[in-house]
Amino acid sequence: MHKVMTLFIAHVSVLMYNNKKVLFSGRKMALKIQNRQKFRKEVFIMKKKTIFAMLLCICLTASFTLTGCGQSQASPSDNSGSSAAISEVVSSDNQQNASQTSENSEAADASAAEPDTPATQDGPVTIDNIRNLVVGIDEPVELRDGTKKAMINFDNAATTPVLKPVEDEVNKEFEMYGSIGRGYSAKSNHSTDVYNQVRNKVIDFVGADDGDNTYTAFFVNNTTDGLNKLASALIESKDDLVLTTRIEHHANDLSWRERCNVVYAEVDEQGRVIYDDIERLLKENEGKIKYVSVTAASNVTGYVTDVHRIAKMAHQYGAKIIVDGAQIVAHRAFSMIGDTPEENIDFFVFSAHKMYSPYGGGAVVGLTEVLNKHQPEFYGGGTVTIVKDDRQEYKSAPEVYEAGSPNYAGVVGLGKAIDILQEVGFDKIEAHEKALNKKLIEGLKKLDNVIIYGDSENIDDRVGVVSFNFSDINSFILAKNLSEMGGVATRRGAFCAHPYVWRLMKLTDEEINKFAGCADIKTAGMVRISFGIYNTEEEVDQFLAMMPEIMKESTVEKYYLSVNSNRSVPQEELENAVKSIPVAY
- As a three-state string, the secondary structure of 139-158 is CEEECCCCCEEECEECECCC
Residue 471 domain flag: yes
Please state whether 12 falls in left (phi above 0), alpha (psi between -120 and 50) or beta. alpha
Selection from 260, 152, 249 nearest residue 487 by Cα: 152
Query: Is the Cα torsion angle 111, 113, 114, 117 positive or negative in sign?
Result: positive
pLDDT value, residue 182:
86
Q: Please enumerate in sequence order all residues whose Cβ is within 8 A of that of 211, keeping only pairs 6 or more positions apart, or say none.
A: none
Last residue of a domain, one of 84, 113, 142: 113
Residue 510 domain flag: yes
pLDDT value, residue 38:
44
Last residue of a domain, one of 96, 113, 130: 113
Selection from 326, 323, 327, 355 nearest residue 337 by Cα: 323
Residue 492 domain flag: yes
Residue 362 domain flag: no
Is 204 strand, coil or helix?
helix
Domain count for the chain, please give it.
Answer: 2
pLDDT value, residue 286:
86
Residue 251 domain flag: no
pLDDT value, residue 122:
60
Last residue of a domain, one of 79, 113, 147: 113
pLDDT value, residue 585:
83
> What are the two backbone dihedrals, phi and then psi, of residue 542, each rounded to the nearest 5 degrees?
-60, -45
- Domain of 29, in residue numbers: 2-113
Whole-number Å distance between alpha carbons of 29 and 376:
47
In this structure, what DSSP letter does residue 481 have?
H
pLDDT value, residue 4:
42
pLDDT value, residue 517:
73
pTM of this structure? 0.80
Query: Cα torsion at 272, 277, 278, 279 (round to 10°)?
Result: 140
Residue 196 domain flag: no
Residue 417 domain flag: no
CATH of residue 534's domain is: 3.90.1150.10
pLDDT value, residue 89:
32
Residue 328 domain flag: no
Q: Quickly list DSSP for 495-516.
A: TT-HHHHHHHHT--HHHHHTTT
Give the mean pLDDT per block of 10 residues along the chain (585 residues). 44 43 38 41 48 47 40 36 33 37 39 39 86 97 97 98 98 97 94 98 96 96 98 98 98 98 98 98 95 98 98 98 98 98 98 98 98 95 96 96 97 98 98 98 98 97 98 96 98 96 95 82 94 98 98 96 93 91 84
pLDDT value, residue 518:
73
Residue pair 475/449 in contact by the 8 Å Cβ criterion? no
